[in-house]
Amino acid sequence: MADRFRVTLAQANPVMGDIAGNAAKAKAAWDEGKAAGAQLVALPEMFILGYNPQDLVQKPAVQAAALKQIEALAVECADGPALAIGGPYAEGDKLYNAYFILKGGKIASKQLKHHLPNYNVFDEVRVFDSGPLGGPYAVGNTRIGSPICEDAWYEDVAETLEESGAEFLLVPNGSPYYRDKFDRRMSHMVARVVETGLPLIYLNMVGGQDDQVFDGGSFVLNPGGHLAVQLPVFDEMIAHVDLVRGPDGWECEQGERALLPAGEEQDYRVCVEALRDYMAKTGFKKVLLGLSGGIDSAIVATIAVDALGAENVRCVMLPSEYTSQGSLDDAEDIAKRLGVHYDYVPIKEGRQAITNTLAPLFEGLDEGLTEENIQSRLRGLLLMAMSNKFGEMLLTTGNKSEVAVGYATIYGDMNGGYNPIKDMYKTRVFETCRWRNDNHRDWMAGPSGEVIPVSIIDKPPSAELRPDQKDEDSLPPYDVLDAILYMLMDEDKSVAECVEAGYDRATVKRVEHLLYISEYKRFQSAPGARLSKKAFWMDRRYPIANRYRDES
């Protein structure tokens, strides 16, 4: 029996629906594995199609195309190591999330996912059928078990594989990021290793898919739960890991032990990677955004430059008579620091034309929110016109606090194709700006140093739609607002629990009311990078028409 077994891990980035392109990536990884003398080359869950495929995977044509490509891969990769790759598998009226093992020019075996996640962004119960508990597959004389992603979060699949002869576990994943999720993954995988006594290889994909970013961070655990290999987070890469058989079974040799960055760096990188991949995978090359001189548009402009390069970012200042000189100066300052194209497009003339058009209808009525929103919607109109004319995707810049309570104008500043900070609370925006000014990494395309002027970070937030306007005229202070929102949304706490935590009941009730009545805006809002387990869109699905209020 062989005493060494090399596995080539492809911590790779699939493109949703690009079946041929994903197969080409798999073949390239297999070529590297063959050259390195691997016995097995492994790719992540559902790699041939992409993950999370949602209803796309239910199309019979998609299922057939994926299987045909996998069969073709088997033929291409007949002379060399086995290839393990995830994809859909239809059998009769059943559809499975499968892991295909290709050897000798054919599909030699399949592992079928048993535990189907049905929470947060996952709704696999809706699209897949649960596979039976099964045994391991053989590569040469070595028997390997592959619990697919969620299967490794429970005892039974790994236990069944160990009892039926698996010598180590290879876990293919499509596991998206949220802050601190890596610690949860690691604790679950350590539990499987301790329970089975087997080494475990955790292989995760990387890359952005709509709102989700898969953060990689693949690793290998030896018996006892000891870390042997740790790959970096977010980086697409090929790695070879070597298992050696000793008197007590298989153990992985020590390999790369990458250090994982802190949470604020990972959050920021998610915003960058999400935008970069959303652009690449939808076909856009350039973006534009309204640069107000405020902190939200400042951080979005910085994210855009770090993701795409300054040459692909257009920033537009659209001042009204309420725009302060400080905002004008700050917008121009950050545009110069980032090196972006900067346009200056005053809205006074257009606003006056709209005011004149509506004057007969509005005669005798007081000015107020309507007139404020006209400014925002005029800016949205102008930015969308530029987007159409220049072929540049418009970015919207509302943070999670504003999106939560509806402090944004639908068809105005909510216009756009993507929102990099949709899941970033306002207080976190301030922290992120300070972090970016103090840190630069090689994955950032933008300049190093203080790219966001301190004057932008320090000044009181304002929409500048009326004289001397401040956000706190309409909202609680952001530290209070964010704390209440976090309790109500992220922790599903009651009004009573918020009050017990020290917050004024009337303020909590007001925030709850704003949260519920703003659902219709969120329903029509742009997708954005997911940073938490309670991001708006698939993590939190509430009815638009809803009269429930918590009276606790």
For residue 462, the model assigns a pLDDT of 74
**Domain coordinates in residue numbering, the chain:** 4-260, 264-466
* Amino acid (one-letter) located at 212: Q
CB atoms within 10 A of CB 106: 10
Residue of 77, 69, 85 lying closest to 9 (CA atoms): 85
For residue 414, the model assigns a pLDDT of 94
Residue of 497, 521, 493, 499 lying closest to 402 (CA atoms): 521
Q: Residue with structure tokens 């840190």?
A: 439
Q: Distance between CA atoms of 341 and 330, rounded to whole angstroms?
A: 15
Contact predicate 278/264, CB 8 Å: no
Question: What are the residues whose beta carbons fall under 8 Å from the beta carbon of 214, sequence distance 6 or more?
Answer: 13, 44, 51, 174, 175, 176, 177, 204, 205, 206, 207, 208
Catalytic sites, residue numbers: 45, 113, 149
Per-residue pLDDT of the chain (552 residues; tens, 9 = 90+): 569 999 999 999 999 999 999 999 999 999 999 999 999 999 999 999 999 999 999 999 999 999 999 999 999 999 999 999 999 999 999 999 999 999 999 999 999 999 999 989 999 999 999 999 999 999 999 999 999 999 999 999 999 999 999 999 999 999 999 999 999 999 999 999 999 999 999 999 999 999 999 999 999 999 999 999 999 999 999 999 999 998 888 999 999 999 999 989 999 999 999 999 999 999 999 999 999 999 999 999 999 999 999 999 999 999 998 889 999 999 999 999 999 999 999 999 999 999 999 999 999 999 888 988 999 999 999 999 999 999 999 999 999 999 999 999 999 999 999 999 999 999 999 999 999 999 999 999 999 999 999 999 998 877 767 777 777 777 899 999 999 999 999 999 999 999 999 999 999 999 999 999 999 999 999 999 999 999 998 999 999 999 999 998
Q: What share of the chain is helix, strand, coil (3-state, %, to 5)?
A: 40, 20, 40
For residue 472, the model assigns a pLDDT of 72
Helix (H) or strand (E) holding 272: helix 263-282
Cα dist from 340 to 55, 451, 471, 482, whole Å:
39, 12, 28, 32
For residue 2, the model assigns a pLDDT of 65
For residue 494, the model assigns a pLDDT of 97
**Top CATH class, 4-260:** alpha beta
The CATH superfamily label for domain 264-466 reads HUPs (3.40.50.620)
For residue 21, the model assigns a pLDDT of 98
Q: Could you check whether 4-260 and 264-466 share the same CATH topology?
A: no
Helix (H) or strand (E) holding 30: helix 19-35
For residue 461, the model assigns a pLDDT of 79
pTM: 0.95
